[in-house]
Structure 1
Amino acid sequence: MSRILKNSLVQSETRYQLLATVIVNIITFAHGVGVGWLSPTLTKISSSDSPLNFPVNIDEVSWLGSMLGLGSLFGNLTIALLIERAGRKFCIYLLAGPYACIWILIYCASNVYFLYAARFLCGFTGGAGYVVVPIFISELADSRIRGALTSMVMLSVDLGILAGYILSTYLAFHIVPFLAIILPVAYFIATFMLPETAPYLLKHHHFTAAEKSFRYYRNQRSAICEEASKDEFEELRTAVLAQQTKNSTPLSYKDLTSKPALKAFAASVVLSMGYQFSGVFSFINYMSDIFKASGSIVDVNTGTIIIGVVQIIGVYTSTILVDIVGRRLLMLISTLGVGIGCIAFGCFTLIGESYDLSDLNWLPLVLMIFICYLGNIGLIGIFFLVLVELFPTKIRSIGTSISVLFLSVLVFGSLKIFPLMLHYWGISYTMWFSGVSGLLTFLYFWLFLQETKGKSMIED
């Protein structure tokens, strides 16, 4: 009980950390809305009575999906150039503009290229946000709750995906943009109240501002807390300056090829490949098509919304457990479960081609619930937390950016080929490919992934 209370997010000294996390995650929620919007919308715009007066074909569908990865690539490159120069807070402000343009483009769409541009900007927001938001949160958060706060990134994304599923299923095509554009406006206004993180300010020798930021995020602004606050801040200041002295030489090729750096990059490569090739992210984007291909009795849009709820439960589970059981165990359970679930899904659909399985046509929904729940407690839920914690302090920003850059390439490729795989390979072989990828990722993590729970964000 005492351990749970110690890790509570609503303690007096951590309430502003929670508030800041909720505020910056408005944009990750908004990104989720943009991602979830696509799946039910594809059914509408692929039909002869498309609300856009131009039905899209299979090739255009694959480009609509993959534009998310291309946008993520450019978003990541932009943030990689700005995050250490302009600061975390400026990069957070930057996300509002491109996101607002998404819904303007969708509302005004007169041909498929408007939708391509909107999906590109949705990817740009995600690619940039997945780098700066976890770093921002990890630098302001107390180490004992850092895992829970950082995993709220994907919880917010999943909540947004569910909202996107519901909005695009039950509302007219041109109504959704009017509601969604409220999010970037609210986000931009709310982030004005947040100070820059203390570690970033200390690195740039803004000591007074750093102390104010430190005291704000730890709710230490009363006279009683002043002495304790000064002592804690001095510990942080000493640690940051010592680390800066240790890393006083400019970042070089040797820093990126040291043994700890190479181990971190290897783990990040496998993590990214497992995330994409296991299919858990592609399923989110093409859920309606998967249910249609599986022969499930459940209405495709209803099934998609159910999975959206399951994703939220999965990420919420990881938020509760990540600082208790650690990162490694959740990743092992997640990858093993996804691998087994996808192989079982593929076997069911293959057998269904030769035998009458109408009495079991509820099974695809159950299997997808199993896959998505376990995928979200690890591979999705704590992906960016583990990614940030893998790298040594000196190369954390550049290492995270390079990793998300690689991830963006994989997102582009996987979302481009997934609908084509469904179309040409069929659902069974597509799911088996995902299952084998999940099991290979499990094997690597079992052998090589190190636990990063409690790791310092200041010292190596």
Structure 2
Amino acid sequence: MTKLRQYSLLNARTRYQLLATIIVNIITFGHGVGVGWLSPTLSKIQTPDTPLDFQVGIAEISWLGSMLGLGSLLGNLTIAFLLERMGRKFCIYLLAGPYACLWILIYCASNVYYLYVARFLCGFTGGAGYLVVPIYISEVADSSIRGSLTSMVMLSVNLGVLVGYILSTYLAYHIVPFLAIILPIAYFTANLFLPETAPYLLRRSQLTAAETSFRYYQNQKGGMEQVSKANFDELRLAIDAQQAQNQTALTYRDLITKPALKAFAASMVLSTGYQFSGIFSFINYMSTIFDASGSILDVNICTIIIGVVQIVGVYTSTIFVDIIGRRILMLISTLGVALGCIVFGCFTYFGQFYDLNYLNWVPLVLMIIIIYLGNIGLIGLFFVVLVELFPAKIRSLATSMSVVFLSVLVFGTLKLFPLLLHYFGISITMWFSAASSLLTFVYFLLFLPETKGKSMIQD
């Protein structure tokens, strides 16, 4: 019972950590709304009954998808530059502005370039948030629940994707921005009450502010209990030792040590597997995939069902990540996605030669399996594992570099995915995703370390 209480997110001592995680994830939820908004909207703006003054074709669709990656790249670089200079809280505040602007542009769109810029800003918000939010959470959370709290990043994104699917399916085009713009206002206001993280303040030699922050996130408004005082002193001494060890400036030699290179290799495979598995592309083009699969079920209903499945998948990872560890969930996820994509590709391939209308439910079931398994590990734990892979000295820089690499992959895969569907068909596209997931599984099986319980201060 004591051990279960240790992992409980509602423990009295850690409830402010949970509250802070929910508040900062308003922006990742909003990013998910922006991502989910696209899929049902594409089916509307390609028809003669488009709510806009223009229609879009396959070329514009591929750019609409891929602008997310370019925006993410700029968001990564911006936050990487500001994270250690201005602090976690400043970077968190910064995200509200671009996110509000994207919905203004969507509402005012008079040509496709407005939508391009809106998707770019959606990517900027996501790319910046994916970097600063996991680092912020990892610095305020106890190690016993850090995995669960960090995995809420993708849980909130997926919840946002579902809401985006629903809003853009059932509401008029120009109503959605009015509702969505509430999010950055609420996000900015709620963050006013959260202090900067104690580790960052200690690195800035702000001892009093760091102690106040530590007390807040430990839910001790008066003086600190003896155990918490000891934990704070341990944190302070660890950071002092780290800074004493790192008196010299960070150089390229720190990036080419054996532990650093192994971490970079794992992060590159993690990012490549995440994108080339196709899961993120599926989310962005879900309605198009169901059209291409020959499913005669309502594509928008199918898309909403998939949105629910994403949430269930990430919630599963949130429950088990600090109990059974990261590595096992990653292995289950990558192998499951590979097998699911193989079967999906085979079904659509044979559907070209045989009448499979009596099995019209199969694409939906297969996609449910693929998305669920993808979210319990490859997606749900991506940022948990990424942050924990690197040595403490290079963590901020190396995480930034890895997310920049991820953004380049996001741009490439979202640009190419609709073209692959159009020119090569759904079967070959699915088999490509399966091959990528299978290779990722083999690498993880042989080389991925378990990072459960790893210290964020000491290597």
Q: TM-score range by the shorter chain?
A: over 0.9
Give the whole-Å Cα distance in 2 for the aligned partners of 1:392 and 1:231: 24
The Cα of 1:49 is off from its aligned counterpart by: 1.3
1:63 corresponds to: 63
CA contact (8 A) 1:49 1:55 kept: no
1:303 corresponds to: 302
Relative to the length of structure 1, the TM-score reads: 0.99
TM-superposition CA deviations, 1:318-341 (whole Å, max 9, x none): 000000000000000000000000
Matched, 1:432 2:454: no
The Cα of 1:113 is off from its aligned counterpart by: 0.1
The Cα of 1:241 is off from its aligned counterpart by: 0.6
TM-superposition CA deviations, 1:170-225 (whole Å, max 9, x none): 000000000000000000000000000000000110000000000100012235x4
Moved over 3 A (4+): 225-229
What are the residue-to-residue correspondences of 1:8-87 with 2, within 5 Å? 8-87=8-87
Letter in 2 for 1:28: T
1:6 corresponds to: 6
How many pairs were matched up?
459
2:266 corresponds to: 267
Q: Which runs of 5+ in 2 are unaligned?
A: none
Give the whole-Å Cα distance in 2 for the aligned partners of 1:73 and 1:88: 19
TM-superposition CA deviations, 1:378-424 (whole Å, max 9, x none): 01101001000000000000000000000000000000000000000
1:346 corresponds to: 345
- Which is further off, 212-221 or 400-409? 212-221
Matched, 1:394 2:393: yes
Letter in 1 for 2:351: G
Secondary structure class of the residue paired with 2:73: helix
1:407 corresponds to: 406
What are the residue-to-residue correspondences of 1:204-243 with 2, within 5 Å? 204-223=204-223, 225-243=224-242
Give the whole-Å Cα distance in 2 for the aligned partners of 1:403 and 1:228: 36
2:312 corresponds to: 313
1:134 corresponds to: 134
Matched, 1:293 2:292: yes
Secondary structure class of the residue paired with 2:457: coil
Give the whole-Å Cα distance in 2 for the aligned partners of 1:49 and 1:296: 23
TM-superposition CA deviations, 1:436-457 (whole Å, max 9, x none): 1000000000000000000000
Relative to the length of structure 2, the TM-score reads: 0.99
The Cα of 1:90 is off from its aligned counterpart by: 0.2
Give the whole-Å Cα distance in 2 for the aligned partners of 1:119 and 1:202: 37
Letter in 2 for 1:239: A
Matched, 1:173 2:156: no
Secondary structure class of the residue paired with 2:142: coil
The Cα of 1:36 is off from its aligned counterpart by: 0.2
Secondary structure class of the residue paired with 2:143: coil
Give the whole-Å Cα distance in 2 for the aligned partners of 1:307 and 1:226: 46
The Cα of 1:226 is off from its aligned counterpart by: 4.0
CA contact (8 A) 1:27 1:96 kept: yes
Q: Which runs of 5+ in 1 are unaligned?
A: none
CA contact (8 A) 1:147 1:385 kept: yes
The Cα of 1:53 is off from its aligned counterpart by: 2.1
| Aligned-residue identity in percent | 75
Give the whole-Å Cα distance in 2 for the aligned partners of 1:127 and 1:222: 38
TM-superposition CA deviations, 1:51-76 (whole Å, max 9, x none): 10211000000000000000000000
Give the whole-Å Cα distance in 1 for the aligned partners of 2:9 and 2:248: 38
What are the residue-to-residue correspondences of 1:411-426 with 2, within 5 Å? 411-426=410-425
Secondary structure class of the residue paired with 2:380: coil
Give the whole-Å Cα distance in 2 for the aligned partners of 1:42 and 1:109: 14
The Cα of 1:103 is off from its aligned counterpart by: 0.3
CA contact (8 A) 1:318 1:330 kept: yes
Give the whole-Å Cα distance in 2 for the aligned partners of 1:4 and 1:299: 43
